[in-house]
Amino acid sequence: MNTQTGALLHQAHMTTIEALQSLEEFLGANRKPPQVDDLVARRMKQLSRTLRSEVESHFGFEENHLFKAFVEQGETGIVTMLTHEHRSILPLAIQVADLALAAAEGGSFSESAWTEFKDAGSELIEREIFHIQKEEMGLIAAISALIDPEADQELADIYRREVG
Ligand SMILES: [Fe+2]
Ligand SMILES: [Fe+2]
């Protein structure tokens, strides 16, 4: 059975994966700090928005609403693991989002900002994709097993209201 909540999470995961793949291409194509023209600036702003939305609103929904419902059903193992991963991804994502925004606003990457962006970006890509794969394989199926249609409706409404 497909749930609304699962479908909403899946959609956001795909958006994040796309943003991370585009980041990976961008990092791979530029050994030295790239020029920040209008196109790159727009890309960096978009990246910053997507990352912040993922780790602030989306993680927030998972932890404050969805994981809570799981814990009420005694499913603490998966919740502990995924929450732990959120803790390790969040600061990295904010760091990458801030560097991207600073480059967009300042019109350039300095040598050191580019090195930092590349290192943090590569690490983020790895951790976040791994995390999303786990949620796609385990969490979304667990939602349909554990959450009844009424609770699903409530969670989906909360998601649309708080995350968009
Ligand atoms: Fe997620
Ligand atoms: Fe998550």
Q: What is the mean pLDDT of the chain?
A: 96
Kindly report the pTM of this predicted structure. 0.94
Domains (range + CATH), the chain: 4-162 (1.20.120.520)
pLDDT digits (tens, 9 = 90+) for 96-145: 999 999 999 999 999 999 999 999 999 999 999 999 999 999 999 999 99
Ligand 2 centroid to Cα of residue 96, in Å, is 18
Q: Kindly state the DSSP code that residue 53 receives in the 8-state scheme.
A: I
CA of 31 to the centre of ligand 2 (A): 31
3-state secondary structure of 75: coil
Cβ atoms 59, 90 nearer than 8 A = yes
Ligand 1 centre distance from Cα of residue 61 (Å): 9
Per-residue pLDDT averaged across 30-51, rounded? 96
Closest ligand, as measured to the CA of 16:
1
Residue 1 has pLDDT above 80, yes or no: no
